Structure 1
């Protein structure tokens, strides 16, 4: 016999689907000792790099109840951003540059949070005696392990969530609630002996399967890392100027993902799908903000973004970029000026000897 909690859980799934989520599952809000131990080990090994906020609120990250003691259940939700083409295809050319798939359209923080809030309002309207809190990426919440615990996928060897239906292309959101909802069965790991994501990484950011060293990850280096990027990684950046999709795109489970399932808000903006380096190297703070209005790229600021573009210019071998790069040698930001100097050296070294 189906009880009231199970009936309401099914209603939540239906409402989530109506709001654009392609995956919905439920997990307990209490602490999982194994999940907490893995977090402690990862932080203890320094794999979070300069992301001090990861360690600073580690107690809150250990479990949903560590963040909100009243929480009883977690509603894990996934929204698809599956691309129509393999993002690695742009790696075969020096210019245009590559922006990670999730950042080519609208800011997922806004899109996912808007849908989460709508679902939360519906839940409270149906169950006025409950409380809810919504989270998208910016709070100390372990989204990927919780999503795996809720059965909507498993954490692959690249440490990201993998779905049988949507591959590696899910953006996650969480609703914590005081409701006791029937938990789903955690998803079985289906990576098997595959190492495609591990071998696809240009910077060897995986010291072992299911472990990532953020300090070597191109997404971390181009988005989170401030200042100069270490020399050992600059050539490996290739033409990536914001994030990296290589380990995600290499996953064989993507063969089941369909771009038709992607939320239309994440469809690539024409100017971000294949941007030209020559245009990006001329950005000042105002033009940067205008170009990336409504984009998650805006949060890293002009200086860090132009720094990334300079590394890509140095890797391009394109002499036409010589002058735009040279003009940035006197940039007031030290990391930009250093990147310009490095890029200029790379371009000059690639010129034919007269």
Structure 2
């Protein structure tokens, strides 16, 4: 019932290793597909696993509202409920409260808000967030925090970060001793180095099984995000997993791994798949475009996913235009496969001591753009 993190190789700041949990190993750097409402949209759980995913993310906010954490617990926990036997990380609910909830009120105790579904009133505190995540049975639990918005003033960021650090202590106290489960703290401080440092020191003093970089990918842009990671990541313990929340596009992911990040999650590959967007080594493709309607070639001739092995661009264009469900299914499968292939490529490159070569090839292929139309 123990958990551990082992670093197997480093190349510059980039790292590859394994997070071991009772439900299986997580190879890092790891990309976690997002299963918002106990499902990765348009995918069967066994299909998600077939793409190479070792771990999924579940959303505390959405699941507490519907079908409720208590119901999921009575039905045997989130893993059984959604038929996913491998590790699950649940977020704390803080980000969704910021972005989705109506009429929210923030106090020292927690956040009260009205559900975006039916207007019912709820409260999340650090203690309630830990209880919800315990009821869900997630393997990696996130401390409850306030996701600092961007832009904000230094004073606003400082007040928010210090509140999150007080909540981090309460989360740690409420989490208790749960062998086989991990609790991650979340660094805040917006784009300000001194605040990030203060936050990291507070989290290390409390003591967590892993550490997340929060408050990025909230509108600051890629350049500022990477500039912040240049100093923020190294403030966190090197012997624990480092998780960048809510990221992102493939070039965001490569830039984050280069700066020492071990875990990421994002709705992008699945959300893009439902809107006819495909991610490939040559960049992003829009399958709505008429250039694809007579094209018998796959999305990517080098890709081994079922979509690229069995379906043409012309078919993918057609089923989206016809509003057929298979469109989102096929493009989501491809996108998730591509993301996991990207992660494996980085793991291999770090192990071989050639991350710089991988990064150069990654950017060169994207710069070529899509293949010429027929």
Coarse TM-score class (shorter-chain normalised) = under 0.3
Higher strand share: 2
* Structure with higher RCO (Cα < 8 A, 6+ apart): 1
State the TM-score, normalized to the length of structure 2: 0.23
TM-score, normalisation: structure 1? 0.24
Bigger radius of gyration among the two: 1
